[in-house]
Chains A and B, each alone.
Chain A
């Protein structure tokens, strides 16, 4: 049944190999040049403007989020850090009392906040500050006004985008139970992209489509046996498992990057809800066609270019699939912070056979491989981009991918453009 939707003979790229030989995975553990899970707050707080994210941590945590946010754009942001001081560590101050006092002050100043996330950090985990208990206590105190949840974004347990995974898991117990038939899109999307997806699903005849996280933190979708989960982001392993525990069915699909991925992603939902193939084609074909048109000029720049992806956001594998199959790039190495084979199954199957995957990182060794391979483009974090550029290697900063609307057929051109821009720019500059 799936094949009916998945085959896109006119894509102009090679069909998925029948039996891809499993690529050898390079596993490394060493210095990681990857953010911790706290960084997810930077987009989560924008997704849910009625939520506040209070990190319980150190000055480092506060400085990290501020630096990761790049510029200090928000005069008074909806995230902050309860900085532990010597008194808290020495036990001179009761950490729970301190936290209660601080939360009270914060909520007085921000009466519009409906959900407060207490976010655990490395120091709060190491001193075993029980934020679950604190959240419970504060929830009771603030009953009917503010819901208080907790999760860990600590670097000793989470990497970059796993912060969102943990935040969503924390929200799950609040989701009402219902066996109503629905499609649940899980993972933060740009509002405009989400609207677009909803419109297309509506055209396909899917009447009940909901999102997690919601735009308003209190507007939580129900979950139950009738729920089909479509992951919009590839880093939600724990959330996916927890939703399955609540009776939901996880749909397997490539992630909605590029024309092919987005089409197959929607096809998975269409199949699950019994949308007739001809109707699906009638709705999607024009979008696919338009998406390919938008891609074409960027494919010209990217085709044949060699790409090295350093681990960062977990988006590396689906992006590699898109850039190789739809943009014609050659994959030198595809790094990922960790590999969840179940969540990546559909994308892995579409990667060229024997693509070199690497899991984890030892940044010095990986950079040696980058230098040896001299790729045309490296996807990496901002700590590495300028140093690589200074060595003459073109880079694309990965953090832009978690902030930019890149999902869906309509964004395929923009997504490809993000990768083509550094190459175009280098072609433009007549500088030594």
Chain B
């Protein structure tokens, strides 16, 4: 692998995880993001389902690239994504049935998550298979991370626990994973209700912007410091 290819891979990764994060920067897929992040496990479940969809749809779109007629590409993307989501829905129904029941309508609704068609159109239809798969994976991972963090925040404030009902996803081992912070915690209902999701996402975006700003300030300082040496 040449250096150039490596650099491109790291650019794709950073793009998906941070600079162009689906949830925090593109603000796509907010409907499931806000609706299912009541707990960490719900967020993780939907995140992984979305991640799988993104990887598969990006790969397939990239593979069929040579035969794509640009006039009908959008319906084709939708068809591809819909078949993938249906498959994932059936898989979850079969092996993660309880989680499937909890997430409910939001699994089939992954189809409507704009980030998936956006990646197919903007990236996969123009790039090679490995790059497209990596892009799908990183975009999905970035989305999953936000879902998990937001789910964690809301679960902690709302129920005073973390990883509650992890057995839905990890089987019996999951039962030992639940961390309860206070036995008689009253629960801050607002965090679990929709306003809590909006407020939480707002704060996450704010934190990301602060970090970006700090880094930018640091870089400028470094550049200024380097000038006299260069001169």
A-B interaction: no
